Amino acid sequence: ATSARQGVATSPKEVEINGKKYATDPWFNVSSTVLSLTSRKLHLQKDHPVAITRKIIESVFPPPTYKYYNEFDPVVSTYENFDSLCFPPDHPGRARSDTYYINKDTLLRTHTSAHEAELFRAGASGGYLISADVYRRDEVDRSHYPVFHQMEGARVWDRNKVPNGDLAAAIFQDLDRLPKHNMTVEDPNPPFHPDRNPLQVEHHTPEEAAAVAAHLKRSLELMVNEIFSRAKAAAAFATAANNGTSPVEPTEPLRVRWVEAYFPFTSPSWELEVFYQGDWLEVLGCGVSKQELHIIAGVPSQIGWAFGIGLERIAMLLFQIPDIRLFWSRDERFLSQFRGVEDNLARMRPFVPFSKHPACYKDVSFWLKGTSAAGGGGSGKGAVDWHGNDLMEVVRDAAGDCVEDVRLVDEFVHPKTGRRSMCYRINYRSLERTLTNAETNEMHDRVVRGLVERLGVEIR
Ligand code: FA5
Ligand code: MG
């Protein structure tokens, strides 16, 4: 019953992921669709836009200072993904409605930060970049997919290994060696926030924290400048091609801004936003690493920064890719457009969408199993434990990438029975072909059956 409520069709005793077998338990909630994507590794596929994006970012963090790790397995322990990063026991990210568990102690990583502790423990000096597939149970729309790719970056300094023991001076010296840029940077934040983002007083002086923050911010500004300059240049090619003129390199400097953020494993923390095509876009999260991580890793004399960035989000901007499902396409009309770009970034051009195929909306309305707490069922015992993400999973399993988005359009509680009704609108549209009516009806029937069988709803 538990697995049915979690939106999993069959609960196997064990699953095999990238050649390794794992025993499941009642926490298991990974759909077969998601399991089948664990072997794709788009970030390592030559000339894939995710891989090209990774390469561009790597170019801003060169070896030997930075080492690259691109082959970490997506299966990690709950400890690595959450506890090792100081996530409190009741953090919402741990919920089975948000995270894919193989069993109580094993999951598909939700972020590349899951590998921070082990790299610190391995005595990483200098810095590193990790690129990997990450997994989150989420809604269905053009910018959300249950699997996406992140890149994690970190830089550490060892206070026992800097000249004269002057850590802040050593970090500022490294900052001076970084290139400059001409971006407009807004940074209205005070250096620390007493509650959310305090100075780690027991471990860092204000000068040390300021030095780490300055090095972090300049490094990431340089990265964003590299990416967005390339995006603008590619867009200029497209405009010129349309007008039959030769491309003019954009001269207007980029605008970015730092926004205070919160992560359990950094303090202070920020997000970096970029002004692009009329909007502020969040591109990454980052901060001064919590000293607990270095202490637990057995390297208490280290201090440093870390960031995490979503590769699809960046690739969508770089190549003007309109729908996140396209990244998983094996269609030559998609893949061929990026061929040869990884080894010659000057060949970067915006993606030219193939013809847009018609959409077909279908609604599904149903009563939830049980009643709302108000409507009898005895002291709220029959209360409905409904997670929209369970429905999203059923839809993905039934219709795969033929669903563009799913939205809740209506919801109410029956005043007498206390039963809760929901109506979702599913937009069927393939990126690759026109769906026939029969095909769409068949998929929708599968969705409806899945909702009844796996989530126990009653169709209205
Ligand atoms: C994290 O995952 C943190 N691990 C980032 C971090 C690392 C902070 C190191 C501090 C130090 P967040 O959930 O905000 O944070 O995701 C980071 C980035 O991943 C976002 O800025 C965004 O670029 C991308 N991202 C997040 N969710 C999605 C999604 N559903 N689809 C595509 N990209 C996403
Ligand atoms: Mg975020």
CB of 57 within 8 A of CB of 215? no
Ligand 1: atom nearest CA of 113 is 4
Look-up of token digits 């206390």 = 418
Residue 439 has pLDDT above 60, yes or no: yes
Nearest of 293, 127, 137 to residue 200 by alpha carbon: 293
Architecture of domain 2-347: 2-Layer Sandwich (3.30)
pLDDT at 10: 60
Residue 2 has pLDDT above 50, yes or no: no
Which ligand is nearest to the Cα of residue 136, counting in written order?
1
State how far the Cα of 176 lies from the Cα of 169, in Å rounded to an integer: 10
Mean pLDDT of 40-46: 97
Beta-bridge partners for 16:
21
Mean pLDDT of 416-441: 94
Token couple for 256 = 């970015």
Look-up of token digits 């209360």 = 383
pLDDT digits (tens, 9 = 90+) for 362-391: 999 999 987 665 444 434 445 568 999 999
Residue 52 has pLDDT above 70, yes or no: yes
CA atoms within 13 A of residue 350's CA, in its CB half-sphere = 20
pLDDT at 251: 67
pLDDT digits (tens, 9 = 90+) for 330-355: 999 999 999 999 999 989 999 998 87
Q: Give 215's pLDDT tier (boundaries 50, 70, 90).
A: very high
Residue 359 burial (CB count, 10 A): 13
pLDDT at 378: 39
**CA distances from residue 426 to 51, 92, 455 in whole angstroms, order as listed:** 31, 27, 17
CATH 3.30.70.380 domain position(s) in the chain: 360-459
**CA distances from residue 256 to 57, 180, 233 in whole angstroms, order as listed:** 17, 15, 18
Angle between helices 206-243 and 311-319 (to 10 degrees): 30
Nearest of 99, 77, 89 to residue 28 by alpha carbon: 99
pLDDT at 7: 47
Beta-bridge partners for 390:
none
CATH 3.30.930.10 domain position(s) in the chain: 2-347
Residue 428 has pLDDT above 50, yes or no: yes
Token couple for 382 = 């029959």
Contacts of residue 159, defined as CB under 8 A and 6 or more positions apart, other chains included, come to: 165, 167, 301, 302, 303
Residue 243 has pLDDT above 90, yes or no: no
Q: Which residues are near ligand 1 (CB < 6 Å)?
A: 111, 113, 136, 138, 144, 148, 150, 152, 263, 266, 282-287, 306-310, 312-313
pLDDT digits (tens, 9 = 90+) for 147-188: 999 999 999 999 999 999 999 999 999 999 999 998 999 999
pLDDT digits (tens, 9 = 90+) for 190-200: 889 988 899 99
Contacts of residue 105, defined as CB under 8 A and 6 or more positions apart, other chains included, come to: 77, 78, 79
pLDDT digits (tens, 9 = 90+) for 119-141: 998 877 799 999 999 999 988 88
Distance 111 CA to ligand 2 centre (A): 11
pLDDT digits (tens, 9 = 90+) for 264-320: 999 999 999 998 878 898 999 999 999 999 999 999 999 999 999 999 999 998 999
Architecture of domain 360-459: 2-Layer Sandwich (3.30)
Burial of residue 329 (number of CB atoms within 10 Å: 0-12, 13-18, 19+): middle
Distance 344 CA to ligand 2 centre (A): 32
Mean pLDDT of 252-269: 93
DSSP characters over 277-345:
TTEEEEEEEEEEEPHHHHHHTT-TTEEEEEEEEEHHHHHHHHHT---GGGGG---HHHHGGGTT-TT-G
Chain mean pLDDT for the chain: 91
Distance 202 CA to ligand 1 centre (A): 28
Ligand 1: atom nearest CA of 112 is 4
Q: Which of 84, 108, 111 to mutate to test the pocket of ligand 1 (most atoms within 8 A of CB)?
A: 111
CA atoms within 13 A of residue 252's CA, in its CB half-sphere = 8
Nearest of 198, 223, 275 to residue 56 by alpha carbon: 223
Of 1-5, 15-19, 103-107, 201-205, which gets the smallest average pLDDT?
1-5
Helix locations, 31-115, DSSP H: 32-37, 49-60, 78-81
